[in-house]
Structure formats: structure tokens, C-alpha cells
Amino acid sequence: MKTLWLKFSKITRLLKQGRLSPLLKLTVVLGSVWMLYLLSELRTDWSLNYSKWEYTDVDGGPEKECNCSAILQGETKAVEKAKLLALSEDFRKRVRIPDEYYINAAKDCRNFKLSRKYLTFPLSKEEEEFPLAYSMVVHHKVQNFERLLRAIYAPQNIYCVHVDKKSESSVFAAIMAITSCFPNVFMVRRPVSVVYAAWSRVQADLNCMADLYNASTEWKYLINVCGQDFPLKTNLEIIQMLRSLKGQNNMESEQMSAGKKWRVTNVHELVNEEIKRTGKQKEPPPFNLPMFSGNAYIVVTRGYIRSVLEDDRIQMLIEWGKDTYSPDEFLWATIQRMPGVPGSTRPHSKYDMTDMNSVARLVKWQWHEGPQDSLEAVYSECHGQHVRGVCVYGAGDLQGIIAQPHLFANKFDINIDPIAIYCLEKYLRQKALAELH
């Protein structure tokens, strides 16, 4: 388009100078008209290419009944209306998409990607040159998963999806159908049956990490997510934040409190799909490594993953940790403080990082919530519901969480508040397209 414009400008200059014969003038005028038309078409196509990726209220979803702009600004009336809608069983039924829809819709991949508005091209050179890897561990709620994938999808990135072996057949079939439509999204080679707080939760991520590491040498950072996560930043914002880390990893990692030490000092085993203490004491960790506390969600470099897969010290720590309780809440955090691991930090307490200071994930724990003016509260009160002490966000939480520095937040649930997800994904898409201008 730029070349055409330069040629048109040159011809116009020659015409003004009178340096063309009458016949050539006629030819040039006709050609110039054609070029102007072509330039106009190219410009029109360019704008259409981006406008059709926007989320609009005329897309037909039931969520159009709410005002996302007002909700994101925290306007009381809009938030209250959203709460009432979310409580309506009729509304939740109209929003819900069954697994069978995805199984059938993904038979026509081209139409599926168009109708669901996936961005199938890099939005900038900066993003194209900084690909990411995602490990996605899910076990139910296909609609949650698909909207998460759509929100973080970019063709230069790579995605490994681990579906729990215990998941319903419709869940597995629907996610398999969705992933088959994308060359850079694949199912993990070795899925496992995941049990809450058991080693299998770590193994699911480990298997995806290995597949991602072997599938591509291009990606710069790995981010692991679960099906109830959702991004708070656009892909461009994410990579800009990761660039600023300058090769460092980022996750919660702090001295383990006395109240959590029982998790790594007692032997545990699986009994009827539940993890229980055996009454036996564990041997100290290999090399007397200091144990650190963290969570399952991390932002790490390719070098960190290489160490996890190949470093003999870490392999011994992995074997040692298989009979602990909730090993995902100490393993990554402990590896992060091991000397020699790329992007790690020293084990000194001065390098401790809480979940509020790491960018990996925002989670609102019920016992740390409180009124906005409370000096004791870590975060504002939850506007959704609590599940196992964690806030499942409602529309009223959006204004507060998008102001946080975190890349992702947990938890979102289409069955509890579909408007929270809809407004957040609409906000992110509009922001991503606005970054182009």
C-alpha cells in the first residue's frame, strides 16, 4: 500500500510539471484513478479487518443486556443490575453454551474461528517476536476454557492443554474439537487423573511443560493457567511486562510459615481419591534445601523449565515431593530460590515475594478481604461468591481487579457470574485493537 502511494505521488508531480505527452497523460490519469480506487479499497479492507474482531452488543449474546462500560467504572446502578441478572436462573441458562455446541461448531474450523472472533494474526511486530508458551490445566466447564483460550490466543504463541483423565467424555471431546482447529494448540501427550492437593496436580503441569519445551525453541516465557483463570492484560501488555523482568522469573515465593510445615514433614498417600496423612515423618529434603511457600501459578523463562526437566537436584526434589500435601504450593517456589536456576533469586528472606507483589496471579482469599477503608484488609470485599475460601469474581469486582498489576486473576465461573467474564473479555479486546492505532 505504501509503494502504491509513493508511485501515485510521483505521477502527480510529473503531471504538474507538464513533462508527459497527451497520450501518456490520458493513460496516467486512467491509471491514477485505478490506483486511487485500489488505495481506497485497501484502506477500507484494513479497517474492516480490525472492526470485525471487536466484541459488540449486536453480537446477540444475552450479556448485551448489561452496560460493561458503566460496570468497569464501578457505577452502582449498572453493577446492581448485573448482580440481579447473574442471580437469574433464566439468564444463566440463556448464556450457557453446551459442550455439544463446540463439538459441532469446530467441525468447520474456519467458520468457528470467524464466528468466535479469534485473532488469527499477530497484532504487532513486537508481539510476533516475543512468543509465549501456555500450560492450560482444565477438568470441566468447556465454555470457561474456550473463552479463556480466545482471550489469550495469538498465532505466534503455543498452548498445551491438559484435560483431567476423570473428566466427562463430552468435556474431552469438546476441548479436543476446539484444539484441533489451531496448529499451535495441542492436547498433552500424557494426561493424568488429577486429585486436589495431590502430586498429580503438579504432574499435569510437568507433562505440559515437557511437551511445550520439546515442541518449540522460540517461546520466551511460560505461563500456567487453569480453566477458571482470566487475563487482566492484553497480549501486548503481558509481553511488555515480561520484557521488563529482564530474564527473571516471577511468582509467589516466601519463607514457609510454621502453620504450613506439616505439609512437607509428613508422609501422605492417596486413599479413595483423597490425600491423607499416613502418620509417618518424612526425611529432610535433598541437600537440606530450604522450603519456600508459594502457589501453583508461575511466570517462568525457558531456562527455568529446562532446569525443571534436566537438573539432577530438581529431579531429586521432585521425587522427594511426591508424597507431600499440595506440592504445587512449595515446589515452584522452592526451585525459584535454588542457586543456578535461570531467572531465580537468592534464598535470603530479603528476596521473598508475596502473591500480591508477584504478577503471576491475583487471588482474593476470603480471610484477607475487608472494607475499602480497612487498614487490615488486603483486598476489597468479594462481589461474587466464595468457593473454598476463594472469591469467584462478580461484575462488581472488575473495576478493582483491572487496576491491579497482575497478568491473570482467579477465579471466574460462567455459572456464577457470566457478566464478569463477558465485560472483561470485551474490555481486553477493545484495548488490544485500540493499541493498533
pLDDT tens-digit readout, 342-388: 999 999 999 999 999 999 999 999 999 999 889 999 999 999 999 99
Strand partners, 161: 136, 187
Say yes or no: 87 and 159 in one domain. yes
Say yes or no: 95 and 189 in one domain. yes
From the centroid of its chain, how far is CA 331?
21
Say yes or no: 206 and 292 in one domain. no
Kindly state whether residue 237 falls inside one of the protein's structural domains.
yes
Kindly state whether residue 49 falls inside one of the protein's structural domains.
no
Say yes or no: 159 and 288 in one domain. no
Domain containing 297 equals: 254-351
Pairing of strands 254-255, 299-301: unpaired
Say yes or no: 134 and 237 in one domain. yes
Say yes or no: 222 and 80 in one domain. yes
Which pLDDT belongs to residue 249? 98
Kindly state the helix (H) or strand (E) to which residue 231 belongs, with its residue range.
strand 229-231
Among 351, 382, 417, which residue terminates a domain? 351
Say yes or no: 229 and 313 in one domain. no
Average model confidence (pLDDT) across the chain: 90
Say yes or no: 142 and 289 in one domain. no
Q: How far apart are CA 260 and CA 141, in angstroms?
A: 31
Kindly state whether residue 1 falls inside one of the protein's structural domains.
no
Average the pLDDT over 104-110 and give the result. Answer: 98
In b/e form, how buried is each residue of 379-396, taking b as 16+ CB within 10 angstroms?
bbbbbbeeeeebbbbbbb
**CB of 364 within 8 A of CB of 390?**
yes
Gyration radius from the chain CA atoms? 26
Which pLDDT belongs to residue 58? 53
Kindly state whether residue 334 falls inside one of the protein's structural domains.
yes
Say yes or no: 146 and 276 in one domain. no
Q: How far apart are CA 155 and CA 183, in angstroms?
A: 8
Give 62's DSSP letter: G
Give 415's DSSP letter: T
Say yes or no: 80 and 226 in one domain. yes
Kindly state the helix (H) or strand (E) to which residue 213 belongs, with its residue range.
helix 199-215
Q: How far apart are CA 321 and CA 315, in angstroms?
A: 10
Instruction: Identify the band that residue 27 occupies on the pLDDT scale cut at 50, 70 and 90.
Output: low
Say yes or no: 342 and 366 in one domain. no
Is pLDDT of 4 > 60? no
Q: How many domains does the chain have?
A: 2
Kindly state whether residue 147 falls inside one of the protein's structural domains.
yes
Q: How far apart are CA 105 and CA 178, in angstroms?
A: 9
Is pLDDT of 184 > 70? yes
Per residue in 217-250, pLDDT tens?
A: 999 999 999 999 999 999 999 999 999 999 999 9
Q: Which residues are marked as active site?
A: 329
Of the candidates 82, 104, 108, 77, the one whose C-alpha atom is nearest the C-alpha of residue 95 is 82
Q: List the alpha helices (DSSP H) in 52-166.
A: 68-72, 76-87, 89-95, 99-105, 109-115, 125-128, 142-152
Q: How far apart are CA 423 and CA 408, in angstroms?
A: 15
